[in-house]
Amino acid sequence: MSPAVTQQGPSTGAEGLSYQWMLDIGTAAEGGTVTYANLPDVTGIDPGRSDVTADGTTYANQGQTSETKQATNFAPKFDVKPVIGTDGAVQPALETLIAAADSIGSGSVVPIRIYSTKIKKLAYAGTASVGWSRKNTDNAAIEFMSFECKGQGDFKPIANPAFGE
């Protein structure tokens, strides 16, 4: 006979909030050093993590699948509210994204860092090609740009910048 299971109450501690994620856009200087700029006017950050698997199923699995993780895809998505200066310029990190989206080849690729400000282990970086579209096309809506990025195969966990690492 199995021992009785005692139901526990909810976990104690703070709950995470959706706005506790940060997005930094990098620029690479000569020599490969990346400098990141935070993009504060962002919403809907989704790191776009998905597993790449290979099917290793055989008859021995008796109808059940047997998949092995080979890699992790990185396809971040997010929306940005352009904040426009009197000179027509927007935030520096947004300027970098727009320039990348307007480029082709390696010019369309930027370093991206996405991390939680509260959960230390949730911090990732990679490079991605950039594309955007207008989110709000209503007659009187606040302008937002929707970005969809495609990882370039170098996605990895990093030390979390929010924790001074």
Q: Does 21 have pLDDT greater than 90?
A: yes
Buried b (16+ CB within 10 A) or exposed e, 48-65: beeeeeeeeeeeeeeeee
Read off the pLDDT of residues 37-67 as tens digits, 9 standing for 90 and up.
999 999 999 999 899 999 999 999 999 999 9
> CB-based contacts of 59: which residues, under 8 Å, 6+ apart?
none
Predicted confidence at residue 1, as pLDDT, reads 66
CATH code of the domain occupying 21-55+64-163: 2.30.110
Domain extents in the chain: 21-55+64-163
Element (H, E) at 79: strand 77-80
**Which percentage of the chain shows pLDDT scores above 90?**
75
Please tell me the pTM assigned to this model.
Answer: 0.84
Q: Does 19 have pLDDT greater than 80?
A: yes
> For the chain, first and last CA: distance in Å?
49
Q: Which residue has the higher pLDDT, 59 or 29?
A: 59
Closest by alpha carbon to 25, among 103, 111, 137, 150? Answer: 111
pLDDT, average across residues 84-102: 96
